[in-house]
Amino acid sequence: MTARAPLKPLAEALEQLLAVVEPLVAFERVATLDADGRVLAQDVVSALHVPPQDNSSMDGYAVRCADVPQAGTLLPQSQRIAAGMAALPLAAGSLARIFTGAPLPPGADAVLMQEDCTLMAAGDGAVPQVRVNAVPQAGQWIRRAGEDVAPGAVVLARGIRLGPAEMGQAAGVGMDYLQVVRRPRVALFSTGDELVMPGACAPEDMPPGAIYNSNRFFLTALLRRLGCEVTDLGIVPDQRAATVDALATAARSHDVIVTSGGVSVGEEDHIKPAVQQLGSLDLWQIAIKPGKPFAHGRIGQAHFVGLPGNPVSSFVTFLLLVRPMLLKLQGAADTGLHGVPTRADFDWVRPDKRQEFLRVRRNAQGGLDLFPNQSSGVLTSLVWGDGLVNVPPGQAIARGDAVSYISFAELLA
C-alpha cells in the first residue's frame, strides 16, 4: 500500500500556488467614479501642484506679519477673498478677509483665525476696520502650493487596489479615467446531489438529507468583491461525466474555475479524477483546519480551484488561498494576510497538529472572544465573528496570550 503524502503546510501551499499565477496583461479604461475595487494598471502621475497655490486653511484674515507688531493693532480690510476667487496683492498696512481654501493674496505671510480678530463697526461707505487681537507667526494657517502633491509625483502606483481614498486622490490630480487590469473571468459551480437552491423547495418540503446551497451565495459575493466577472454554472450532479463536462465547458472561456464540494476522497467525490482527466492537479489537501480538502490545478489555460463543501471550510480556504491568488492575477502588489497581535480572552487547550483558524470576535475590552462551536459546518460562527485567529500547529492558547488576529474587515474589503 502506497503511503499517503504528508499534508502541505499553508505557507508552502500558498507559495506554490502564487508561483504559477501570471498576472493578466489586458487592461481597460474605466471612469474614476467606477474604479472602486479595481487594480491599477498604470502609475498615476500628477501634472500639477496640489494644492495649486498657497491658500488659507481657516476662515479669518490674511495679513503681513510686519503690519501686526502687537495685539490690538487696527487694520483696514482691503479685499474679501473666497474659494475660487482671484486674489489681488495685499496692500501694505491692510488685511484681507479670507475663507478656507481661498488663495493667499501675494504679500501676505500669515492667516489669523476670525476668532482672534474683531470687526469694528463702520459707517456707510466706510472701509471696514479690524482689530487684530493676537500677534501672528509667519506661515500660520497657510497650506502651501504642492505640499500635498508636486508635479511629476507618482500619486498612485501600478498594482494598488483602488478604494475611496485612492479614487479621490486620482480625481484630485485631474484623472477622470484610469487604466485598470481587466476583471478575471471566473466560473463557479457546486457539486452535490444533496444541494437545493433556496426558493426551489420550501423548508417543510425538504427531502431527507437535502440542504440549501449556502456556499453558492457567499462565494459569488466574495468573487465579486474581488472584482471578478462571475459565471454561475449552478449545481452539478455527483456524476463523473457531468463533472467532466462542466469543467471542460468552464475552461474554454474563463481564467479561473472555482468549485465547492466533491474534493474529498469518497466514492461520490468526482472532482479530483475529472480534473486529472482534463488537465493536472498540483495541490491536494492542506495542513489547515478548517479547510484540509483544498485543491488547485490547471485545465487548459484556466486555473482550477476546488474548495471543500463544508461552508466554513470553503469560506476560510477562499480567504487564505483564493483571495491572494485572484489579487495576484490582477497584478495587485499586496496579496498578503496581515495578522495583528491581540489579547485572547479565551483558552484553547486542545490544539490540532494542523494550523488552525478560529472564529473570534473583538470585545469591548480590546480582547478576543471565541465562538463556542468551531465546527466547519457552523456558518453562524462567521456571521457572529469579525475575524480569525491564526494558531500555529500544536499551539495551545491561554487566556491573556497575544495571538495573531486577522480581521474580516480587511479580507472582505
Block mean pLDDT (10 aa), the chain, length 413: 74 96 96 97 96 96 97 96 96 97 97 96 81 97 95 96 97 97 96 87 90 94 96 90 94 96 65 92 93 94 95 96 97 92 97 96 98 96 97 97 96 87
Q: Residue 142: beta bridge partners? A: 56
Pairing mode, strands 355-362 and 387-391: antiparallel
For 195-245, what is each residue's pLDDT tens digit?
888 988 899 999 998 999 999 999 999 999 999 999 999 999 888 899 999
Give the three-class secondary structure for 133.
coil
Question: What distances in angstroms separate CA 109 from CA 51, 103, 131, 138, 140, one per listed residue?
Answer: 17, 12, 18, 6, 8
Q: What is the pLDDT of residue 1?
A: 42
| CATH number for region 10-25+182-329 | 3.40.980.10
63: its cell numbers: 495679513
Question: What distances in angstroms separate CA 351 from CA 207, 288, 385, 395, one per listed residue?
Answer: 37, 12, 20, 6
Residues 6+ apart with CB under 8 A from 358: 348, 370, 371, 374, 388, 389, 391
248: its cell numbers: 471542460
First CA to last CA distance, the chain: 47
Q: What is the pLDDT of residue 365?
A: 97
Cα–Cα distance measured from residue 188 to residue 222, given in angstroms and rounded to the nearest whole number: 12
Asked whether 295 and 303 are in contact (CB, 8 A), the reply is: no
Please state which of the four CATH numbers 1.20.1560.10, 2.40.340.10, 3.90.780.10, 3.60.10.10 is assigned to the domain occupying 340-411: 2.40.340.10
Cα–Cα distance measured from residue 295 to residue 269, given in angstroms and rounded to the nearest whole number: 13
pTM: 0.87
Q: What is the pLDDT of residue 262?
A: 74
Cα–Cα distance measured from residue 351 to residue 4, given in angstroms and rounded to the nearest whole number: 23
Q: What is the pLDDT of residue 302?
A: 97
Q: What is the pLDDT of residue 126?
A: 82
C-alpha atoms less than 13 angstroms from C-alpha of 168 in its C-beta half-sphere: 3
Q: Residue 122: beta bridge partners? A: none
Please state which of the four CATH numbers 3.30.470.30, 2.130.10.10, 2.170.190.11, 1.10.150.20 is assigned to the domain occupying 55-143: 2.170.190.11
Cα–Cα distance measured from residue 111 to residue 117, given in angstroms and rounded to the nearest whole number: 11
| CATH number for region 27-45+158-181 | 3.90.105.10
CA 267 to chain centre: 40
% of the chain residues with pLDDT over 70: 97
Omega cis (within 30) before 290: yes
Asked whether 405 and 389 are in contact (CB, 8 A), the reply is: yes
CA angle 291, 293, 298 (to 5 degrees): 115
Give the three-class secondary structure for 300.
coil
- What are phi and psi for residue 166, nearest 5 degrees? -65, -40
Q: With CA atoms as reference, report the closest residue to 189 among 156, 163, 215.
A: 215
Cell 471542460 belongs to which residue?
248
Q: Residue 257: beta bridge partners? A: 187, 304
In this structure, how many other beta carbons lie within 10 angstroms of the beta carbon of residue 57? 14
In this structure, how many other beta carbons lie within 10 angstroms of the beta carbon of residue 268? 15
Asked whether 263 and 294 are in contact (CB, 8 A), the reply is: yes
Domain locations in the chain as residue ranges: 10-25+182-329, 27-45+158-181, 55-143, 340-411
